[in-house]
Structure 1
Amino acid sequence: MTTRPLIGITMGDPASIGPEIVAKALSNPEIYALCRPLLIGDGQVMVRAFASTGVRLALNPVARPAEGQYVHGTIDLVDLRNVDVATLEWGKVQAQAGRASFEYIQRSIDLAMAGEIDAVATSPINKEALKAAQIDFIGHTEIFGALTGSPDPLTMFETRGLRIFFLTRHVSLAQACRMVTRERVLDYIRRCTEALQQLGVERPRLAVAGLNPHGGEHGLFGDEEVREIEPAIAQARAEGYDASGPHPADSVFWHASRGRFDAVLSLYHDQGHIAAKMYDFERTISITAGLPFLRASVDHGTAFDIAGTGQASAVSMEEAIRVAAKYAAAFRRRR
């Protein structure tokens, strides 16, 4: 019998919907059929989340992952006890919440690097709360990259089989256009292909999206395709990579969703985000590739406006855990 992968789940910002969506996700017995979920967070915050959501589960505090029971009805918890629930307010930016969410990530990285968990699934954190705690990172990807010594990790979205990589992410649109260079596109084709192989795709077919309308129409609407993207793809193909394009961005994601390509390289943040989220908003999952271990995450924010009300949907959290479990074994084999 194949051992279910052990997935470390970070609780996220304790003032956010994170604890609530974790509680709801781990009340689903299907999750336990797929993996052994281990929560990294704060027990008192989870008790509060049980009250707001109506979820009835037991907590089993453990010092190490090997001590967990991993049976439905009980949440195995590495309890950092790093939140003062008497002063924690739902739905507000707070330094203690930013610090706590960072410490959950740190512990998940420590456990993954030590081989005690197979993959990590993360709940949402808040950039302002990190700043209030004087933590000099703007998000999960940057934290995971820095703390694992992984320069420029890749972000890949997956939703119902559609996979999207991003050449640029949190920069202005003007800067993103300047970053579309022959060298960068070629580097990303190589690394995206390797990332897909780590996830078990044997011969990845990677489509590169165009930057300009209709892929530039051979220079009529901008020359980035002719000057930068096409030479990069030609070089990649000469090296044996199955890369194609540049494909017009208004159709390439549709073709990929129908199985023509294994993934699309989006050239800037919103180009790929809009495609994925229009396809299935709740099931769009972010995977960080280029790390020593697999990390999957919800692709939504902390939703402070509904935190503590029990209204937040756990679909994305469940899907993040499913994706982490789905790819964990293939990722281990490839390492």
Structure 2
Amino acid sequence: MTSEAPIALALGDPAGIGPEIIAEAWTQRARTAPAGGAPHPFFVVGGPAVLRAAVEARGLDCPIVPIAEPSEALFAFSAGLPVMAGLDAPYTPGSPSEAGARLALASLTYATRFALGHSAAALVTAPIAKAELAKVGFANPGQTEFLADACRLPYRDAVMMLAGPSLRTVPLTVHCALAEVPGLLTSELIAHKARIVAKGLTRDFGIERPRLAVAGLNPHAGEGGKFGDEEARIIEPAIRELQDEGLDVTGPVPGDALFTSRVRGTYDAALCMYHDQALIPLKALEFDEGVNVTLGLPIIRTSPDHGTAFDIAGKGIADPGAMIAAIRMAAECAAARARA
């Protein structure tokens, strides 16, 4: 892995806010720089006409510089936003279309190939509309699963982590009904994903000995079995197994205490039992800077932790903070891997 290549950005659904916040990220590129460093050059895979229209609609000073190869972004980045030509669609903010979905899928596919082929140091994905992509043959539940397939890994090896300046959370079960969660949780699943998280924090974030906190499932972490036995039967055995392997793991911690300011300073990532247990605190604390990071892949992938926001697309009010944070984190992770 090299950090010298540019970062590839997948456009996302062109009818969403992706194009305008990508362009805004280039105009505020100083904010995408890792602490004490310079901005890492990035480029967009496809959509030059979409991006020009988004720039005009938002009133930005952001020249679009066509490129033919990822390496050209290293030289073009100072002059404008480098964009690979050849893939495009009409710009219809707020009105998703089949043409836009095809562009989103093509952009994601080629950007992933660039990352896998090491011509991109990392991959940043703008938000997609899964329902629209399904209409053009996208068979995966989401971009994370698409990337796992592209990397020839089982879905469970691609672990979603939500990260902000003061908190990192990992949902151990993701897109499923809350009623299904107890049946999906196993000691083996918890231990497997915890190992991936620990390795990812070391490899991509430079944390030599990661501290993991594991949440309880039930109120008060079960309160000795009064409110459920999943803690004693499933969660505690996984924690003991991980501790026996030498990992710094604590828990199960009651969910209502895990995210208090005092407790947040005692761990590097919180492993949560279900989607909202992980995402509600992250979005409450870090909404404008929340980043979705995929751990366990041979490539680096980050994404803003929000959706397409079709309702505000093209209105010039979308906040680019999460996209800027996603690009900055991708650059930081690429540098960490290069040092390893």
Structure 1 match to 2:61: 56
In structure 2, the partner of 1:17 is 17
Equivalent residue, structure 2, for 1:105: 108
Letter in 2 for 1:273: L
State the number of aligned residues: 330
Equivalent residue in structure 2 for 1:301, among 303, 307, 327: 307
Distance of aligned partners of 1:242 and 1:70 in 2 relative to their CA distance in 1, 3 Å threshold:
farther
User: Which residue pairs with 2:6 in the alignment?
Assistant: 6
Code of the residue aligned with 1:226 in structure 2: it is A
Task: State the Cα distance separating 1:329 from its structure 2 match.
Answer: 1.5
SS of structure 1 residue aligned to 2:293: strand
Q: Which has the larger displacement, 255-264 or 296-305?
A: 255-264
Cα distance in structure 1, aligned partners of 2:207 and 2:101: 37
Which of 203, 212, 225 matches 1:219?
225
CA deviation string 1:23-53 (max 9, x = no partner): 1111114036321111112111011101111
What is residue 324 of structure 2 aligned with on the other side?
A: 318
Q: TM-score, normalised to structure 1's length?
A: 0.94
Q: Which runs of 5+ in 2 are unaligned?
A: none
Q: 1:232 corresponds to which residue? A: 238
2:134 alignment partner, one of 131, 135, 147: 131
Once superposed, what is the RMSD of the aligned Cα atoms? 1.8
Contact 2:43 2:82 in 1 (8 A): yes
Gaps of 5+ in 1: none
**Correspondence for 1:144:** 147
Which of these residues, 312, 322, 329, is aligned with residue 335 of structure 2?
329
Aligned ranges 1:125-274 → 2 under 5 Å: 125-151=128-154, 152=156, 153-199=158-204, 200-254=206-260, 258-274=264-280
Question: What SS class does the counterpart of residue 60 from structure 2 fall into?
Answer: coil
Q: How does 1:24-35 map to 2 (within 5 A)?
A: 24-30=24-30, 31=32, 33-35=38-40
Deviation at 1:331, TM superposition (A): 2.5
Report the residue type matching 1:63 in the other structure.
A
Counterpart check, 1:40 vs 2:54: no
**Structure 1 residue 114: deviation in Å?**
0.9
- Residue 181 of structure 1 and its aligned partner are, at CA, apart by 1.2
Q: Is the 8 A contact 1:130 1:137 kept in 2?
A: no
CA pair 5-278 structure 1, distance change in 2 beyond 3 A? farther
Cα distance, 1:4 vs structure 2:
6.0
2-side partners of 1:257 and 1:311: how far apart?
35
